[in-house]
Amino acid sequence: MSIEAFATLIVMEPETKHRLFSGELGPVKDFFIYSPHFNLTMLNLSLQMATLEGIEAAYCTLSGMFVISLVLMQLCSSGDHVVASQTLYGGTHALLTHFFPRACSITTSFVDLRDYDTVKVTIMEGRTKVLYFEVVSNPTLTVADVLELCRIAHDKGLTAVVDNTFAPMCTLPRTSYGTVFTTPRFEDYSEYTEVFDGWDEAEKLLSMKGLVL
């Protein structure tokens, strides 16, 4: 078990606190409440990562499963559907197979993403919101055609969510339109700092309670 240093920041004026919790004020205006939610270091890192990647926005978290859960729960609501690769990291597969159907009524169809016809027919019009895959799958090392899968998602009105864990230096988010990438960038002790990148969906995804960058 690790010991983490958290900070609660002081709000001097009562009316400011109301504006903070309503989402009117937030990090982009230098207002912070609680360091695990957001802080100046995380904000600046996110802005720098977005600049380096040449994308609209980035958001940093402390683990891969955190960012994957965050993105999918922002894009999907109860009753929605996900089409995902049949070869995924075990934690992601468990999230989609067990937790989401039970807790959120979000279901997933797992397919061979190299079979584009199957991908297309598995997409349910009006229900499927996300096409999810890994650039290089863990652990089978199946390589996805990122551009073709993103094109299919775009044509069907979906968001492609791409786990870029195994190829962060080879595949850049700016090469794929309408896509959210999750990518490990730094290792600190036993934890990863994950960055999710995107452009078309970034503003909507980050509009939670003052998290717009």
Domain ranges of the chain: 57-205
Count of CB atoms situated within 10 Å of the CB of 127: 12
At the second CATH level, the architecture of 57-205 is 3-Layer(aba) Sandwich (3.40)
pLDDT of 177 > 70? The answer is no
Over range 49-59, report the average pLDDT: 77
pLDDT of 28 > 50? The answer is yes
What pLDDT is recorded for position 115? 97
Task: Give the range with max mean pLDDT: 3-17, 49-63, 73-87.
Answer: 73-87
User: 66-121: per-residue pLDDT in tens?
Assistant: 889 988 999 999 999 999 999 999 999 999 999 999 999 999 999 999 999 999 99
